[in-house]
Amino acid sequence: MVKIHVLGGPGSGKTTLGKELSAKLHIPHYDFDLYGEKNGTSAEAWAEESFSIAQQPGWVVENIAIIHIDPLLYAADHIVLLDVPWPVAAWRMLYRHIMATLHGTNRYPGFKSLYALLTSSRRYYLNINKRPAIAELMHSYLEQHTSTLPPTRQEVIEQLETYSALILPPTIEFVRSYLEKYGEKVIVVRTNADRARLLAFLTTRYHQQPASSV
């Protein structure tokens, strides 16, 4: 079995890719941004959930937030960073918002919610950060966290408390730098062609028949 972690900003296609990989490779799929809400949002709860999933034999996890997912990144066989262009992500978010509103399933209805999402996402994709304190925090994190050893629960909790302002990453450039220590495990997907190559590679290498029912 294989362990795959998919990272990306809003509208990057995480959930679509995660569900497709889950179906093709017959491994559990977790939307960790939602999964983490089940047992509370304390640092301890996030850390425990990360370690719990990481120990399973196979999975595909997708999410936006970082730091608490380090146990998953260390355990993953492959880390996929969806680094799509801003116009593509913006169109997907707009379309998704409209369709969810029409179907009555929008968790964040209204123009204000959409505007806030598009505004914050634009800063993320275009690497816009006008807050010196956040820039300093990003620099501090990258400078101090270069270890290639798996993190302990206490280390994850301490990082969550110290760097809480970075849990939702301010920029895509920070995420790229954040993933550098994972080396060749990281696969960057920017286009549909990249996505097709990724799917072909993973399904060829790890495809297996679903377990037969008894």
Q: What is the pLDDT of residue 36?
A: 54
212, pLDDT greater than 70: no
32, pLDDT greater than 90: no
Look at the chain and report how many structural domains it folds into: 1
- Strand ranges in the chain using DSSP code E only, listed in sequence order: 3-8, 29-31, 59-63, 78-82, 186-189
In a domain, 71, yes or no: yes
Between residues 58 and 38, the one the model is more confident about: 58
What radius of gyration do the chain's Cα atoms show?
17
In a domain, 211, yes or no: no
Given pLDDT bands bounded at 50, 70 and 90, which one contains residue 169? very high
Mean pLDDT within 40-58: 84
> Mean pLDDT: which of 67-76, 99-108, 144-153 is highest?
67-76
In a domain, 200, yes or no: yes
Q: What is the pLDDT of residue 37?
A: 58
17, pLDDT greater than 50: yes
Distance between CA atoms of residues 126 and 29, nearest Å:
29
Write the burial class of residue 31 (CB in 10 Å: 0-12 exposed, 13-18 middle, 19+ buried). Answer: middle
Domain at 38, CATH number? 3.40.50
Which domain, by its residues, includes 84?
Answer: 3-206
pTM over the 0.75 mark: yes
Between residues 181 and 41, the one the model is more confident about: 181
In a domain, 60, yes or no: yes
The closest of 79, 105, 108 to 10, measured between CA atoms, is 108
Q: How high is the mean pLDDT of the chain? A: 90
Q: What is the pLDDT of residue 43?
A: 72
Mean pLDDT within 9-29: 95
Q: What is the pLDDT of residue 45?
A: 81
In a domain, 213, yes or no: no
In a domain, 45, yes or no: yes
Q: What is the pLDDT of residue 38?
A: 60
Between residues 161 and 41, the one the model is more confident about: 161
Q: Are 176 and 83 in contact (CB under 8 A)?
A: yes
Partners of 158 in the β-ladder: none
3-state DSSP of 8-58: ECCCCCHHHHHHHHHHHHCCCEEEHHHHCCCCCCCHHHHHHHHHHHHCCCC
Reported as a single tens digit per residue, the pLDDT across 111-122 is 999 999 999 999
Q: How far is CA 164 from the centre of its chain?
A: 16
Q: What is the pLDDT of residue 214?
A: 35
In a domain, 167, yes or no: yes
Give 72's contacts (C-beta < 8 A, 6+ positions apart).
Answer: 3, 5, 32, 50, 53, 54, 61
